[in-house]
Structure 1
Amino acid sequence: MKNFNLSNSYKAVVIGGSAGSFQGVVKILAQLPKGFPLPIIMCLHRLKHVRNGFVEALSIKSVVQVTEPNDKETIKKGNVYLAPANYHMSVELGNHFALSTEEMINNSRPSIDITLGTCAFAYKDKLIGILLSGANKDGAVGMKNIHERGGLTIVQEPTECMIDTMPRSALAVTKIDHVLKVDQIVQFLKELDNQYR
């Protein structure tokens, strides 16, 4: 398996995904080490009118409870946060969330680009960005923002994706540090966890 250079002391992990990403997210959350030291911020495309069931489905498998944050909620270590249906979710300076119902971006609300881009601004080189399977280009600009501000970028191996448009779009516009299968992403997070023990 791959050995990762984890010399930086990271402050957050942000994950984006769309069509075909649910199984990968479930696998990551199910194998997350207990007491994982960083907040995990997730923006996943989902049906905007279905408010119940999605968080519950993730929480059943997750080692850590998954919650949808409220506007201005403080981001805490070790928690897993999911962008609420039909809201853009930003991370603001001062380590808290902001929710909005502004126009769709890439036909999406929540927009992965908004979540990744604002995380990049807030955390700079202390951020790890992960982009999974998806059917449109949302997230590519966000990954570019993360790279430009010194963060670590990871995309799911396109050949493993149900729909590879999202990771391939990111690979086309910016430098991606690691192209990994979901099992390798899990290993990466476990190695990251070991660094903080």
Structure 2
Amino acid sequence: MDTASRVVLIGGSAGGLQAILTLLPGLSARLNAAVIIVLHRQSSSDSVLAELLAVKTSLPVREAEEKELLLPGTIYIAPGDYHLLIETDHTLSLDYSEKVNFSRPSIDVTFTSAVEVFGPQTMAVLLSGANDDGVEGLADVHEAGGITIVQDPDTAIVDFMPRHAIQAVPVDYVLAAADMASFINSFAGLMVG
């Protein structure tokens, strides 16, 4: 199978998991993009998180591993306590460097890394959260011509992250989590067959 030519990035912190669980069931089983989820959480909860997300979608869900190829129609979760980067050969790289915005994995690190590889074929979604992580990465996606979506702060469990993003970055869409899947499906397109 060919590597992904488009990527959908989803970042969240406090309250972000609930938003992800709301949007995942609407994703097409033939989604023609790789999906990368960066969620702030305790490092010990990785396998539980993958299992929890897998029951909400027909797409395969896996914890990202070093040098793993990014494939369309697959959901990758950034492992706890590692930054997740995308290399130019469309493989994943795990990094244990310093925390960014008090976070590892950092949403900004992944968003910025991905847009350097995928450029305008990047969609970034920022969900509920209590800090600034993801805002700078959203700006990078916007500047590269990618699509930016922020959760409607009125629907977020913790509205600080989405509210700050809307104030700081030209955001393409502000949506409730339940309305995001159709935008993601449209951006990604569907695999044939």
Per the TM superposition, whether the score is higher than 0.5 is yes
In structure 2, the residue matched to 1:187 is 182
Deviations 1:95-123 (A, max 9, x none): 11110111111111000000011111111
Residue 111 of structure 2 is aligned to residue 122 of structure 1: no
In structure 2, the residue matched to 1:25 is 20
In structure 1, the residue matched to 2:64 is 69
In structure 2, the residue matched to 1:4 is none
Q: Secondary structure at the match of 1:70?
A: coil
* CA-atom RMSD in angstroms: 1.6
- How big is the shift at 1:196? 6.2
Distance of 1:51 and 1:76 partners within structure 2: 20
In structure 2, the residue matched to 1:13 is 8
Between stretches 187-196 and 121-130, larger displacement belongs to 187-196
**Cα distance 1:48–1:12, how it changes in 2: closer, same or farther (>3 A)?**
same
Q: How does 1:45-64 map to 2 (within 5 A)?
A: 45-64=40-59
In structure 1, the residue matched to 2:169 is 174
**Cα distance 1:17–1:153, how it changes in 2: closer, same or farther (>3 A)?**
same
In structure 2, the residue matched to 1:136 is 131
Between stretches 170-179 and 42-51, larger displacement belongs to 42-51
Report sequence identity in percent: 35
- How big is the shift at 1:37? 1.2
Query: How many residues are aligned here?
Result: 188
In structure 2, the residue matched to 1:149 is 144
Distance of 1:160 and 1:43 partners within structure 2: 20
**Cα distance 1:169–1:131, how it changes in 2: closer, same or farther (>3 A)?**
same
- How big is the shift at 1:73? 1.0
**How does the TM-score come out when normalised to structure 2?**
0.91
**Displaced runs of 4 or more, over 6 A:** none
In structure 2, the residue matched to 1:3 is none
Distance of 2:189 and 2:35 partners within structure 1: 16
Amino acid at match of 1:140: V
Deviations 1:39-64 (A, max 9, x none): 11111111123343111111122221
**How does the TM-score come out when normalised to structure 1?**
0.90
Amino acid at match of 1:170: A
